[in-house]
Amino acid sequence: MPTPLHRLEAWQAARLLARRELSAEDLLRDCLARIAEREPELRAFTYLDATAALDRAVALDHGPVHGLLHGLPLGVKDLFDTADMPTGYGSPIYAGHQPKADAAAVALCREAGAIVLGKTVTTELANMFPGVTRNPHNLAHTPGGSSSGSAAAVADAMLPLALGTQTAGSLIRPAAFCGVVGYKPSHNRVPRAGVKGLSDTLDTPGGFARSVRDAALLGAVLTGDARLADPALFEPTRAPRIGWCQSPDWEHADADTEAAWFQAERALAGHLLAVELPQALVPLTGIQKAVQAFETARSLSHERRHHAAHLSQALQALIDDGLNITGAAHAHNLQATWLARAAAASLFDSVDVLLAPSSIGEAPLGLASTGDPVFCRSWTLLGLPCVHLPFARGQRGLPVGLQLIGAFGDDHRLMAAAHWVHARLLAG
């Protein structure tokens, strides 16, 4: 049987669409059928506009090829402003809010030919209080957060690509829980204009896909780096040098992550070099928490002053923590962050990428929590590009994987290595 259209990888569909061997309308209708089948249970979307999407698909089919994402359906986390769709930021405070303009990342994707099909569920203001989305592998489990709907929609083959953001672990963790590729670019490689902000130091737009090559295609549009879309990138001339980095938070890993870790060790035997973080990088988890709390408390000043009754207790507690941090202490934390980012460059003196845990283990049971981002906090603080690679299953049959981390600005080299590593993890 041929692959159903909604299950085509984005780069494959893009090639067929560019050659006019596949119509954008046919691909979109297949995705819409999948959404109609699964959305009542999965609840990945806050808003869908099938009519406008179909009109866009027909126009693309009758016009010139538009760009790298020509005709590809795209989900947009409801943290990104959209001029033609309401944007609620996961909060009742913004129910019915209609922005006047697209976020820069959304506009870039539209310019590249993407069809924005709808807005996907985010947790409350991209923090820890969960939305309504369920894990597509088991509806009783969380999909992770805060980019819950985007990860779940891509994992369930509703869409080939979706946008998300990360301030702590909001791209990598839901990718891990839902079993898809999640890509967090180097900090500030993707414009944040029009994205509801929490932390200037940490916030990073990125996305979800079902393969590394798909994630790189989306990354090429978001970052403007054409190297990410070069097919030669996925035909490496040598094996990457992979740093084996358990991270200082390894004690939090459960049996499922440990099993995936040793499965990877076997699959990548002969290509691994143990890497130990310098002492200066060990306390970064605590620094990230403090930076996020301080900057979130101030970024949400309006909501705190005028709509406190509509904020969850969890978010109010985070804001309180942030308000208790002095400006002098934050300045010290920022200085430690810049020093750590400079020191992180030495991690890649002898390796091309680092392999590290993505999550504690499988997606937790229940929808009251989105899980712990402990294994993502340090890499986010360092601003390094990260990509989650799904390849294993835990004891409950839910996805488990690991993440690769690259040097700052080396997103294209990270993706080349990730493509090579992922193939071996899946085969091993």
Active site residues: 77, 146, 170
Supply φ then ψ for residue 188, to 5 degrees: 75, 10
- Which backbone phi and psi does 299 adopt, to 5 degrees? -65, -30
Interstrand relation of 73-77 and 115-120 (parallel, antiparallel or unpaired): parallel
